[in-house]
C-alpha cells in the first residue's frame, strides 16, 4: 500500500491555487494610468493587490482566532484550534504562491529580500502544519498582517505617485501606529517567549533562530520607513531608494 499523503498537503495546495486564481481575477481590474504605463509597476501592482487581500483576510482571521482561543497568548506551543490551524495553512499557501509568482515573473533578483522572508515564514509555519505544535505562535505572528494592510496601501499609493494625497499623509501615521502594535510588539513578545529555548536543541530553538532573523529584517524595514516618510531629507540617494517601501 503506498504511503498516504499528509492531509495538510491538500490544504496547502488548495490555498496556493486559490491565490493563483485570485491573482488572475485581479489582473482583469483596470489599472491607474501611472501603473499601466510601466510593465514593472503593473506586475508590482497586481502582486500587491494579492498581498493586500491576504493581509485583510489573515489579519482579521488572526484577531478572531485569539478572541476565540485566548490561551494562544500564553500557551504558544500547545494551544491549538481548527481555525488557527487553517489560518496557518492559508497563509503558508499565500507565501508559496508569492514565491512562485516572484520566480516566474523573473523578479527574484529585485525581490530577494521577499524570498528570504517567505522561506523563513514557511519554515516556521510548517512546524505548526505538520507537527501541530506552535500553532498559537503562528497565529500571533500573523497579527503582523494587520500592519501589512496599511503598509501595502502605502506602497500602492507610492507606485501610483499619490504621495501628495491627504489619504497618504493620514495613512502614514496610522501605518506607524499599526507597525508598533501589530509588528514590533508581537515580535518582541514572541522573542521573549522563545528565548527559553536558546539552550535546547529542539524545534523551539529552530523557530527562535528564524524569529531573530525576522527581527533584524523588521528593524531594517522600520528604519527605512521612518527615513522615507518622516525624514525624507535623510534618504541618501533616490537611485538607491528602498524598493519595498518607496516604489
Query: 5: pLDDT confidence band, cut at 50, 70 and 90?
Result: low
What does each C-alpha distance from 89 to 8, 41, 65 come to in angstroms?
A: 7, 29, 14
Tens digit of each residue's pLDDT (9 = 90 or more) over 169-224: 999 999 999 999 999 999 999 999 999 877 776 788 889 999 999 999 999 999 99
Query: What pLDDT shows up at residue 240?
Result: 43
- Which grid cell sits at 109? 533578483
What does each C-alpha distance from 91 to 98, 172, 233 come to in angstroms?
A: 11, 25, 37
pLDDT > 80? residue 123: yes
Query: What pLDDT shows up at residue 9?
Result: 94
* The length of the chain, given as a count of residues: 247
Mean pLDDT score, 144-170: 96
Query: What pLDDT shows up at residue 234?
Result: 67
Query: What pLDDT shows up at residue 169?
Result: 95
Mean pLDDT score, 225-233: 88
User: Can you tell me whether residue 162 is helix, strand or coil?
Assistant: coil
> For residues 107 and 247, what is the distance between their CA atoms, to the nearest angstrom?
14
Tens digit of each residue's pLDDT (9 = 90 or more) over 69-115: 999 999 999 999 999 999 999 999 999 999 999 999 999 999 999 99
DSSP 100: H
pLDDT > 80? residue 116: yes
pTM for this entry = 0.92
Question: 200: phi > 0 → left, psi -120 to 50 → alpha, else beta; which?
Answer: beta
Query: What pLDDT shows up at residue 132?
Result: 83
Tens digit of each residue's pLDDT (9 = 90 or more) over 20-74: 999 999 999 999 998 999 999 999 999 999 999 999 999 999 999 999 999 999 9
Q: Which helix (H) or strand (E) holds 205?
A: helix 203-230
pLDDT > 80? residue 242: no
225 neighbors 148 (Cβ within 8 angstroms)? no
In the predicted model, what is the mean pLDDT of the chain?
91
> For residues 8 and 89, what is the distance between their CA atoms, to the nearest angstrom?
7
DSSP 90: H
Query: 246: pLDDT confidence band, cut at 50, 70 and 90?
Result: very low
CA quadruple 36, 38, 42, 44: dihedral sign: negative
Query: What pLDDT shows up at residue 235?
Result: 62
Mean pLDDT score, 219-230: 93
Amino acid at each position: 500500500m503506498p504511503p498516504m499523503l499528509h492531509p495538510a498537503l491538500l490544504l496547502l495546495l488548495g490555498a496556493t491555487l486559490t491565490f493563483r486564481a485570485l491573482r488572475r481575477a485581479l489582473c482583469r481590474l483596470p489599472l491607474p494610468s501611472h501603473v499601466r504605463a510601466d510593465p514593472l509597476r503593473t506586475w508590482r501592482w497586481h502582486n500587491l493587490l494579492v498581498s493586500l487581500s491576504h493581509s485583510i483576510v489573515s489579519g482579521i482571521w488572526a484577531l478572531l482566532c485569539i478572541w476565540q482561543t485566548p490561551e494562544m497568548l500564553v500557551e504558544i506551543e500547545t494551544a491549538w484550534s481548527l481555525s488557527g490551524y487553517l489560518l496557518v495553512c492559508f497563509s503558508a499557501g499565500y507565501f508559496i504562491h508569492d514565491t512562485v509568482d516572484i520566480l516566474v515573473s523573473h523578479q527574484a533578483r529585485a525581490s530577494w529580500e521577499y524570498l528570504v522572508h517567505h522561506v523563513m515564514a514557511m519554515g516556521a509555519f510548517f512546524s505548526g502544519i505538520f507537527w501541530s505544535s506552535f500553532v498559537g505562535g503562528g497565529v500571533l505572528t500573523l497579527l503582523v498582517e494587520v500592519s501589512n494592510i496599511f503598509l501595502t496601501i502605502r506602497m500602492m499609493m507610492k507606485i501610483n505617485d499619490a504621495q501628495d494625497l491627504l489619504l497618504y499623509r493620514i495613512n502614514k501615521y496610522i501605518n506607524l501606529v499599526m507597525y508598533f502594535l501589530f509588528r514590533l510588539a508581537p515580535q518582541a513578545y514572541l522573542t521573549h517567549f522563545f528565548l527559553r529555548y536558546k539552550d535546547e536543541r529542539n524545534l523551539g530553538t529552530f523557530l527562535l533562530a528564524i524569529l531573530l532573523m525576522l527581527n533584524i529584517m523588521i528593524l531594517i524595514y522600520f528604519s527605512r520607513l521612518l527615513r522615507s516618510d518622516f525624514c525624507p531629507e535623510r534618504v541618501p540617494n533616490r537611485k538607491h531608494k528602498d524598493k519595498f517601501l518607496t516604489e
